[in-house]
Amino acid sequence: MSDPVDNNALIALEAVSRSFGAIRAVDEVSFELRPGEIHALCGHNGAGKSTVVKMITGLVQPDGGTVRVGGEASRIRSPQDAQELGIAFVDQELSVIPILSVANNIQLGGVSEPFFNRPRRTRARVRELLDLVGLSDLDPAEPVAGLSMGRRQLVEIARALGRNAKVLVLDEPTATLSSAEIEHVFSAVRRVAATGCGVIFVSHRLDEVLQLCDRVTVLRDGKRVDTAETSALDVDRLVSMMLGDVPPEPAPTLPQEGRKSETVVRVTDLSVGDRTSGFSLEARHGHVYALAGQVGSGATEILRAIAGLEPSAVGSVEIEGRQLTLGSPERAEAGGVSYVSNDRKGDGLFLGLSARDNLVSTRLRKLSRGPVLDMASLREAAKGLADTIGLAPGRLPEPAENFSGGNQQKIFIGRTLERPETRVLLLDEPTRGVDVKGRIEIHGLVRGAAREGTTVIFASTEIDEILDLADDIVTMRAGRVVGRHSRSEVDAELLLAEMTHGRAERAAA
In the complex with another protein, the residue whose CB is nearer, 250 or 311, is 311
CB atoms within 10 A of CB 323: 11
Size of the site for another protein (CB under 8 A): 72
Q: What is the DSSP string of 278-290?
A: EEEEEEETT-EEE
Question: Are 215 and 54 within 8 A, CB to CB?
Answer: no
Nearest approach, Cβ of residue 363 and another protein (Å): 10
Please name the residues in contact with 180: beta carbons below 8 A apart, sequence gap of 6 or more: 134
Residue selected from 232, 372, 376, 509 as contacting another protein according to rule CB under 8 A: 372
In the complex with another protein, the residue whose CB is nearer, 66 or 92, is 92
For residues 237 and 228, what is the distance between their CA atoms, to the nearest angstrom?
11
23-33 and 11-20: which strand pairing?
A: antiparallel
In the complex with another protein, the residue whose CB is nearer, 311 or 397, is 311
In the complex with another protein, the residue whose CB is nearer, 457 or 482, is 457
In the complex with another protein, the residue whose CB is nearer, 35 or 143, is 143
In the complex with another protein, the residue whose CB is nearer, 111 or 254, is 111
Nearest approach, Cβ of residue 455 and another protein (Å): 18
Using CA atoms, how far residue 281 sits from 317, 403, 456, in Å, is: 9, 36, 12
Closest by alpha carbon to 430, among 419, 418, 439?
A: 439
Which residues within the stretch 150-209 sit at the binding site for another protein (CB under 8 A)? Answer: 159
Nearest approach, Cβ of residue 327 and another protein (Å): 3
In the complex with another protein, the residue whose CB is nearer, 250 or 329, is 329
167-171 and 87-90: which strand pairing?
A: parallel
Nearest approach, Cβ of residue 36 and another protein (Å): 25
Each residue 23-62 as x (binds another protein by CB under 8 A) or -, in order, gives: ----------------------------------------
Nearest approach, Cβ of residue 361 and another protein (Å): 6
Phi/psi at 197 (5° precision): -75, 160
Side-chain half-sphere CA neighbours of 272 within 13 A = 27
Which residues within the stretch 392-451 sit at the binding site for another protein (CB under 8 A)? Answer: 401
For residues 261 and 285, what is the distance between their CA atoms, to the nearest angstrom?
6
For residues 240 and 232, what is the distance between their CA atoms, to the nearest angstrom?
14
Which residues within the stretch 309-368 sit at the binding site for another protein (CB under 8 A)? Answer: 309, 311-316, 325-334, 339, 341, 346-353, 357, 361-362, 364-365, 368
In angstroms and rounded to an integer, the radius of gyration of the C-alpha atoms of the chain is 24
Nearest approach, Cβ of residue 488 and another protein (Å): 33
Nearest approach, Cβ of residue 100 and another protein (Å): 6
For residues 401 and 386, what is the distance between their CA atoms, to the nearest angstrom?
16
In the complex with another protein, the residue whose CB is nearer, 187 or 268, is 268
In the complex with another protein, the residue whose CB is nearer, 99 or 436, is 99
293 part of the interface to another protein, by CB under 8 A: no
Question: Are 284 and 261 within 8 A, CB to CB?
Answer: yes
Nearest approach, Cβ of residue 434 and another protein (Å): 17
In the complex with another protein, the residue whose CB is nearer, 116 or 258, is 116
296 torsion bin: left (phi>0), alpha (psi -120 to 50), beta (else): left
Please name the residues in contact with 172: beta carbons below 8 A apart, sequence gap of 6 or more: 92, 202, 203, 204, 295, 296
For residues 280 and 294, what is the distance between their CA atoms, to the nearest angstrom?
19
Q: What is the 3-state secondary structure (H, E, C) of 171-186?
A: ECCCCCCCHHHHHHHH
Please name the residues in contact with 197: beta carbons below 8 A apart, sequence gap of 6 or more: 10, 35, 36, 165, 166, 167, 168
Nearest approach, Cβ of residue 192 and another protein (Å): 19
Each residue 66-95 as x (binds another protein by CB under 8 A) or -, in order, gives: -------------xx--x-------x-xxx
Buried b (16+ CB within 10 A) or exposed e, 48-65: bbbbbbbbbbbbbebeeb
Closest by alpha carbon to 132, among 101, 154, 149?
A: 154
Nearest approach, Cβ of residue 96 and another protein (Å): 7
For residues 480 and 403, what is the distance between their CA atoms, to the nearest angstrom?
37
Each residue 112-151 as x (binds another protein by CB under 8 A) or -, in order, gives: -xxxxx---------------------x-xxx--x-----
Residue selected from 96, 132, 177, 209 as contacting another protein according to rule CB under 8 A: 96
Nearest approach, Cβ of residue 77 and another protein (Å): 11
If you count them, how many residues does the chain have?
A: 509
108 part of the interface to another protein, by CB under 8 A: yes
Residue selected from 17, 107, 297, 407 as contacting another protein according to rule CB under 8 A: 107
In the complex with another protein, the residue whose CB is nearer, 196 or 329, is 329
In the complex with another protein, the residue whose CB is nearer, 370 or 394, is 370
Nearest approach, Cβ of residue 294 and another protein (Å): 22
Which residues within the stretch 232-291 sit at the binding site for another protein (CB under 8 A)? Answer: 268-269
